[in-house]
């Protein structure tokens, strides 16, 4: 075994009651592209953040070249040659290319801060790769593929014996994907350890030498490219997919939601939803599953009316409620009170109510009691609540006015068993009351427990099965 091996041994990391990594052990070898696969929540990002020095594991060790690494110290790990190319670019939009490269190369504010000196290494690497880079271009004006090149140059300009690529092809067009896969092979052939987090098996099988599959925080399989089989890898990733159930016995109503030939772009203009069509009846829960990053968020926001569409038609009933995937970033104003967060929803559209503070307080108190939100005072900041109670604030606010359509994305992510059961019950109550429900979730058990029908998103298109969508 090479002396330059990167060894992860028995690494465990928990966030509260959620065990993100459970005794994970894996070896990464120089000269190889090593792919780490798994569904959302499998532990991939947690493992990479441990390797990048952004997280300290609760148990276990990581060693490189036979020496234990200073985990939890990102700056020190970067100096030791660990670099990460993030899926969500870490660029300052209003800065030029040169300013972004210089900012990354800057160690401290002492001495002479000359941009040409700071970016010389990055530009030399760009030249060796055949990339034409204009350092005066404003980063936000550049196409996605060029922005990613800047991120890669930031990684290669410094020590880069180990490079982690987090979903690098998610926003690229096919020609850019092919170029990037060629770069991964070239970096490995230069003797580096290249770690690739990805979901698309066709790309993995085209470039990876070795493959590790995580599921629910554990290593469930390891294989090589020569031994790899797409169907088997997909099965390792998703496990046993429960058969869809029919949790609601009531007769379904008329067609309430019609989506036809819907086309939606992502935040960077890339195609995220590609001409899909479906219908939802009143009282029906339509489940949309699949691996995160395949257009789920863009679909949800378009149907909920908060993201514009590039093509197609959407017909929805009056009263649309939206429970976003990230309660803290998209569902709540954390610095405001519980009361203010409840008022910020559909209650504000009630004529006269928003002007009557006593009626608002009484209404909010009723929501707190009805949804069993544990809070000292309505004036307490919502950030002071537990994650489960924060989610109940979002759910209570959105369902308080009996919506005709409920769009909900990963509603129980990060919740304990009790809070999960509560949120599930409220979603079913909304359907029983006649709402059409679009439930988008990466949890196959959740879909099986709640949905009448389940479809799967893969690269912005609908599929009939999860294994088929993954493969």
**pLDDT at position 180:** 86
Domains 6-238 and 255-470 share a fold: yes
The Cα 370–Cα 366 span in angstroms is 6
Specify the CATH class of 6-238 in words. alpha beta
Q: How confident is the model at residue 156 (pLDDT cuts 50, 70, 90)?
A: confident
- CA torsion sign for 124, 126, 127, 128 is positive
The answer on pLDDT for 21 being more than 90 is yes
pLDDT digits (tens, 9 = 90+) for 161-195: 999 998 887 666 667 788 889 999 999 999 999 99
The answer on pLDDT for 109 being more than 60 is no
Average pLDDT over residues 359-387: 85
Lowest mean pLDDT among 105-119, 281-295, 299-313, 358-372: 105-119
Domain ranges for the chain:
6-238, 255-470
Calculate helix-pair angle for 144-157, 97-105, nearest 10 degrees. Answer: 30
Helical (H) or strand (E) element with 332: none
Average pLDDT over residues 396-423: 83
Strand residues in 226-283 grouped as ranges (E): 255-265, 271-281
The Cα 65–Cα 288 span in angstroms is 44
The answer on pLDDT for 242 being more than 60 is no
**pLDDT at position 200:** 72
The answer on pLDDT for 123 being more than 90 is no
Burial 83-120 (b: 16+ CB within 10 A, else e): bbbbbebebeeeebbbbbbbbbbeeeeeeeeebeebbe
Lowest mean pLDDT among 231-240, 274-283, 319-328: 231-240
**pLDDT at position 64:** 93
**pLDDT at position 414:** 65
Helix (H, G, I), strand (E, B) or coil at 1: coil
The tokens describing 403, both together, are 């919506």
The Cα 268–Cα 258 span in angstroms is 27
**pLDDT at position 331:** 87
The tokens describing 59, both together, are 């148990």
**pLDDT at position 278:** 95
Q: Cα-Cα-Cα-Cα dihedral of 137, 140, 146, 152, to 10°?
A: 100
8 Å CB contact between 184 and 207 = yes
**pLDDT at position 260:** 96
Residues in Cβ contact with 437 at an 8 Å cutoff, skipping those fewer than 6 apart = 280, 284, 285, 286, 405, 406, 408, 427, 430, 431
Average pLDDT over residues 320-346: 85
Average pLDDT over residues 29-42: 87
> Which residues are 205's β-sheet partners?
none
8 Å CB contact between 73 and 150 = no
Specify the CATH class of 255-470 in words. alpha beta
Whole-angstrom CA distances from 105 to 124, 156, 221 are 14, 11, 38
Kindly write down the DSSP assignment for every residue of 175-219, as one continuous string.
Answer: HHHHHHHHHHHHHHHTT-EEEEE---HHHHHHH-SEEEEEETTEE
The Cα 65–Cα 4 span in angstroms is 4
Supply the pTM of this predicted model: 0.63
Residues in Cβ contact with 453 at an 8 Å cutoff, skipping those fewer than 6 apart = 244, 284, 286, 287
Whole-angstrom CA distances from 348 to 324, 341, 377 are 19, 11, 21
Q: How confident is the model at residue 416 (pLDDT cuts 50, 70, 90)?
A: low
């Amino acid at each position: 075994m090479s002396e330059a091996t990167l060894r992860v041994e028995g690494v465990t990391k928990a966030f509260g009651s959620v065990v993100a990594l459970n005794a994970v052990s894996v070896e990464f070898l120089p000269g190889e592209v090593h792919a780490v696969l798994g569904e959302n929540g499998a532990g991939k990002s947690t493992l990479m953040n441990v390797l990048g020095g952004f997280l300290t594991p609760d148990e276990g060790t990581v060693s490189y070249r036979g020496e234990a690494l200073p985990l939890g110290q990102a700056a020190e790990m970067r100096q030791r040659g660990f670099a990460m190319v993030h899926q969500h670019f870490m660029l300052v939009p209003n800065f030029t290319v040169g300013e972004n490269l210089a900012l990354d190369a800057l160690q401290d504010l002492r001495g002479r801060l000359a941009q040409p000196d700071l970016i010389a290494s990055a530009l030399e690497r760009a030249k060796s790769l055949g990339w034409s880079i204009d350092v005066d271009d404003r980063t936000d004006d550049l196409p996605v593929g060029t922005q990613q090149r800047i991120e890669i140059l930031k990684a290669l300009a410094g020590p880069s014996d180990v490079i982690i690529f987090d979903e690098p092809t998610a926003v690229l067009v096919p020609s850019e994907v092919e170029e990037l896969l060629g770069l991964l092979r070239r970096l490995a052939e230069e003797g580096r350890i290249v770690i690739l987090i990805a979901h698309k098996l066709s790309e993995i099988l085209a470039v990876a030498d070795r493959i590790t599959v995580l599921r629910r925080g554990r290593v469930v399989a390891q294989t090589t490219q020569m031994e790899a089989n797409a169907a088997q890898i997909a099965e390792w990733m998703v496990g046993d997919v429960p058969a869809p159930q029919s949790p609601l016995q009531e007769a379904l109503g008329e067609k309430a939601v019609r989506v036809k030939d819907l086309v939606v772009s992502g935040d960077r203009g890339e195609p995220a939803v590609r001409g899909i069509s479906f219908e939802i009846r009143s009282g029906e829960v339509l489940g949309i599953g699949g691996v995160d990053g395949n257009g789920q968020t863009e679909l949800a926001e378009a149907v909920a009316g908060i993201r514009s569409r590039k093509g197609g038609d959407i017909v929805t009933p009056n009263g649309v409620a939206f429970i976003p995937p990230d309660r803290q970033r998209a569902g709540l104003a954390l610095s405001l009170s519980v009361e203010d967060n409840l008022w910020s929803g559909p209650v504000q559209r009630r004529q006269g109510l928003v002007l009557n503070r006593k009626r608002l307080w009484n209404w909010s108190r009723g929501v707190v009691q009805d949804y069993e939100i544990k809070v000292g005072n309505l004036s307490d900041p919502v950030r002071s609540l537990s994650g489960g109670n924060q989610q109940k604030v979002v759910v209570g606010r959105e369902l308080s006015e009996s919506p005709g359509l409920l769009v909900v994305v990963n509603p129980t992510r990060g919740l304990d068993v009790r809070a999960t059961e509560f949120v599930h019950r409220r979603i079913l109550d909304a359907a029983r009351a006649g709402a059409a429900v679009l439930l988008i979730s990466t949890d196959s058990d959740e879909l099986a427990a709640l949905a009448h029908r389940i479809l799967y998103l893969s690269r912005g298109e609908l599929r009939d099965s999860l294994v088929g969508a993954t493969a």
